[in-house]
Structure 1
Amino acid sequence: MGYMSLVFVNVVLPILILMAIGALFQRRFHFQLTPISKLLTSCFMPAAVFLNIYEAQFDMQLLAQLVFYLLLFTGSTMALGQLLAKVLKLKRGEGAALKNSISLMNSGNYGLPVSQLIFSANPLGVSVQIIVLVFQNLLTYTYGLYNLLSATKSIVDIGKSLVKLPIVHALLAGIVFQAFAWPIPGFVLVPLEQLANGFVALALFLLGAQLAGIRLRSFHRAIAWSLLGRLVAGPAFALLFIFTLGIEGVVAQSLFIASSFPTSRNTATLALEHEVEPELHAQIVLYSTLLSCVTATAVIHLASVLF
């Protein structure tokens, strides 16, 4: 079985099945999605983010090597999103969807399985992906949230909203607990793990439920540009900075492959939570996930040839 089949069967297909279940149940029972979204972003998501950061094992030398690359790569995708939003003269909510879709990658339930599949014999490749994942979490709940909230709120209101968000508290707590290596009692850790384990399934179920009411025959122009920015320009930027910084071997492979992942599903979850173009966000996640089974496969093959 080739790369394309492996990636599709082991990563993309399970994601699509969970989304399909959400769509089917939504059509059958007509759930109120806003309360589910609030439950996800206020309970399940903070638990997952906290444990993700708390349990990550960082190699400080590797981390130092990657920080500059990640700043360059992220800065370039953010700049591209800002430029396209201005050139296309999109509304604020549509611009937020475009900018987030290019900068925020699905490094969790898509990226980690892909890396574990490819680098099963070399843990360094997976370690690189974990660092990218943590960085993407930080970016999602800072820059990503700012883009969403700025579509409907002033800077002062944005600051107040960010301070109140459970996900921000979880991020800060995870960083502090990780930095000081504070142990977590078992009676606290077990429910946190159970909530975190349920996060991916509930997030994909919710995304499928969102898509159930969307008329996919309406193809917003921002979707095409977001797909080009995330799945084409992203790997191109990565290749440029990898060669410029002289990164080689497994680290270069892992970074290049990580740049090809589709738009983060969290963009759709957060958009629904804050009621900022939720349908557009959900469509972008769906299309980028489907198309990535082709583009990511091409990048994986190219990475094996170049590095």
Structure 2
Amino acid sequence: LSLVLCVFILSRIYGYSKEMYCAMILSSAFMNNGNYGTPVVLLVFGAAGLDIAIVLMVLQQLVMSTIGMYYAAKGGEDAGDGKVVLKKVLRMPVAYGALLGLLFQLMDFSLPKEVMTGVQLVGDAAIPTIMLILGMQLAVISFKQVDYRNISYAVLLKLFISPLIAFGFTLILPVDDLVKQIMILVAAMPTAANTTLMAVQFRTKPEFVSSTTFLSTVLSIVTLPVLLWILSMHPLG
């Protein structure tokens, strides 16, 4: 929400259209803490850190599948009014699946093995499908027409401002040092690849969102080791 506020301020300064405003939110407010963030946390902090990272990942996915989906639908080419946007969001199944899974967990209810096999197959295909769609988007981008200024702002928000905001929250939240470090590290992850799927689905400037996802991921190869070095040299507490 802090990053959404930052994008709102930028939109007031530069007069973004509704489409650009929503595309900027998709590009800068949601981090890849699933197939990217959790392995990094496991590598650095071990199994104890992974448990925390998974909790943060689940919460992030719920936010992305609701608030993120809302902005993706709102910025689409045929978005319509507020009621139409809300109906589009309510038709998306991700949040319902998460709530159903939580309900099954609380009830200690197990699905039949045959059903779980199908669910596992679909789940295993999710990341390759996302990467395929991201690659397809990047393949058709004309780099002469890329909006480098706004992409730079989105990458700056995602890789630099986001961990600073997380650091600010660690100063006031009553959590231990391990959680604080993981919060900052996860916040510094590049743009979530899922946002490209949303942008393609609702036609919310998919070229812009996929370009930011790609660029932030490439740059994170440099920014994440630097952040880890800073955390090791200046432990929180």
**TM-score, normalised via structure 1 length:** 0.72
- Asked if the contact 1:148/1:274 (under 8 Å) is kept, the reply is yes
Report what 2:34 is aligned to.
108
Q: Please name the residue that 1:166 is paired with.
A: 93
CA shift digits 1:57-111 (9 cap, x unpaired): xxxxxxxxxxxxxxxxxx3222112222222211111111111222100011111
Partner of 2:6: 80
Q: 1:135 is matched with which residue: 35, 55, 59?
A: 59
Distance 1:108 1:153 in 2: 32
Match of 1:28 in 2: none
For the 8 Å contact 2:73–2:89, the answer to whether it is kept is: no
Note if contact 1:256-1:303 (Cα within 8 Å) is conserved in structure 2.
no
**Matched residues in 1 for 2:26 and 2:233: separation?**
30
The amino acid of 2:74's aligned partner reads S
CA distance, structure 1, for counterparts of residue 98 and residue 191 of structure 2: 21
1:25-44 paired onto structure 2 within 5 Å: none
* 1:179-214 deviation per Cα after TM superposition (whole angstroms, max 9, x unaligned): 323211101101101110111011101110111010
* SS of structure 1 residue aligned to 2:190: coil
Percent identity for Structure 1 against Structure 2: 26
Q: Does 1:236 align with 2:161?
A: no
**Cα deviation code 1:16-66 (max 9, x no counterpart):** xxxxxxxxxxxxxxxxxxxxxxxxxxxxxxxxxxxxxxxxxxxxxxxxxxx
Per-residue CA distance 1:250-294 (angstroms, 9 max, x = gap): 212211111110010011111101111111111010011011111
Please provide the CA RMSD for this pair: 1.5
Alpha-carbon distance in structure 2 between the residues aligned to 1:124 and 1:234: 23
- Match in the other structure for 1:23: none
Q: Distance in 1 between matches of 2:95 and 2:172?
A: 34
Partner amino acid for 1:218?
A: Q
SS in 1 for 2:143: coil
Q: Note the alpha carbon deviations across 1:97-138, whole angstroms, 9 max, x for none.
A: 111222100011111111111122xx2211111111011101
Provide Cα deviations, 1:125-180, integer angstroms capped at 9, x if missing partner.
Answer: 11111111011101111111111111222111122112222223323222322332
The 2-side partners of 1:137 and 1:160 are apart by 20
Pairwise CA distance, 1:305: 2.2
CA distance in 1, matches of 2:134, 2:104: 31
> CA separation in 1, counterparts of 2:16 and 2:32?
24
Aligned to 1:147: 71
Q: What displacement does 1:217 show?
A: 3.5
Among candidates 138, 141, 154, match of residue 211 of structure 1: 138
| 2:146–2:208 Cα contact (<8 Å) kept | no
Q: Aligned partners of 1:262 and 1:181: how far apart in 2?
A: 35
Output the CA distance in 2 between the equivalents of 1:176 and 1:157: 29
Q: State whether residues 124 and 251 of structure 1, in contact with CA within 8 Å, keep that contact through their aligned partners in structure 2.
A: no
- Secondary structure of 1:119's match? helix
**Which residue matches 1:251?**
179
Could you tell me which runs of 5 or more consecutive residues in structure 1 were left unpaired when the two chains were aligned.
1-74
Q: What is the distance in 2 between the residues matched to 1:180 and 1:154?
A: 39
What residue number does 1:36 align with? none
Distance 2:20 2:226 in 1: 29
Alignment-mate amino acid for residue 195 of structure 1: V
The answer for the alignment partner of 2:121 in structure 1 is 194
> Alignment length, in residue pairs?
231
8 Å contact 1:105–1:263 — kept in the other structure? yes
1: CA distance, partners of 2:44 / 2:10: 33
Q: How far apart, in 2, do the equivalents of 1:157 and 1:211 lie?
A: 30
Which aligned segments of 4 or more residues in structure 1 are displaced greater than 3 angstroms? none
Distance 2:101 2:6 in 1: 30
State whether structure 2 residue 200 is matched by structure 1 residue 272. Answer: yes
Structure 1 residues 178 and 87, CA, compared in 2 at 3 Å: closer, same or farther?
farther
